[in-house]
Structure 1
């Protein structure tokens, strides 16, 4: 079994009218980190996932970050 982390960051970020750079500044990371998260190339720390969720208006981390399994 392989576990994948997908995100809704891009969609939620665009709905809020934020650029990758603006979101990065708000959560204290680089634009490249936000890009890597949006493209499922990076798994965030719990604190970063929490901060992104709060900035994007989610109530739960699962609103932004989706874990899927591939058997």
Structure 2
């Protein structure tokens, strides 16, 4: 699986686990809701500052998000 799709899956999972809508996540991270949607569909990739804004809004370290994406990529490569 491509990295952008792995990131998309992880972001959506984290958002849902935090019981946030795309609109609420966008508000908390000071991003546009359509941008959140594009990230969750793998259309766009976040900048480092966007990654930190998302991690703060999701109450998780940015490094943990990266680790989750790495694990997702590794799991897909093993399948």
Greater share of residues in strand: 1
| Compared CA separation, residues 51 and 9, structure 1 to 2 (3 A) | same
> Are the aligned partners of 1:53 and 1:63 in contact in 2 as well (CA < 8 Å)?
no
TM-score, length basis structure 2: 0.69
Give the match's secondary structure for 2:3: strand
Greater share of residues in helix: 2
Q: How many residues align?
A: 67
Higher relative contact order (CA 8 A, sep 6+): 1
Unmatched 5+ stretches in structure 2: none
- 1:1-71 aligned at under 5 Å gives the runs 4-5=3-4, 6-7=6-7, 8-59=10-61, 60=63, 61-63=65-67, 66=69, 68=73
Unmatched 5+ stretches in structure 1: none
> How big is the alpha-carbon RMSD for the aligned residues of Structure 1 and Structure 2?
2.2
